[in-house]
Structure 1
């Protein structure tokens, strides 16, 4: 399984259900392998929420890095 496939699996199975329960979501945009940075789009309620950056760090980044250690950072686009 590629790094991108692992990331998409974590987003679909761990991150999205948690965010969807609050009316939001996030989607995979791209993974930049040279910088080990994942880029995601925050959607729904998460797209306009004033706490979106906290959600990105505490929910998305922590879950992805814990499951896919190749990822070193997660950024919002």
Structure 2
């Protein structure tokens, strides 16, 4: 499990990104940070069924998150 400071920073960063998803009718749910510093999310709403969801996750959320939290190694979608 990630330390509390990293967890707080990740959640704050995700909140800052969330309006971009909501603008397209989607959202995301934070699940966890694992021992490898991978962030587990679930895309919901329009983003959950979108064929571009993986690109949004990797090129959007992951890139933004790694810029603010370099300890994060990857963002993965949980079903």
Per-residue CA deviation, residues 28-47 of structure 1 (Å, 9 max, x unaligned), is 10001x21100001010000
Q: Where in structure 1 are there 5+ consecutive unaligned residues?
A: none
Paired residue for 2:32, among 30, 33, 58? 30
Number of paired residues? Answer: 75
Paired residue for 2:8, among 5, 9, 19? 5
Paired residue for 2:22, among 17, 20, 27? 20
Instruction: Give the alignment's TM-score, normalised by structure 1.
Output: 0.93
C-alpha RMSD of the superposition: 1.0
Runs of 4+ in structure 1 deviating by more than 2 angstroms, as ranges, are none
Q: Where in structure 2 are there 5+ consecutive unaligned residues?
A: none
Instruction: Give the alignment's TM-score, normalised by structure 2.
Output: 0.90
Does residue 33 of structure 2 align to residue 42 of structure 1?
Answer: no
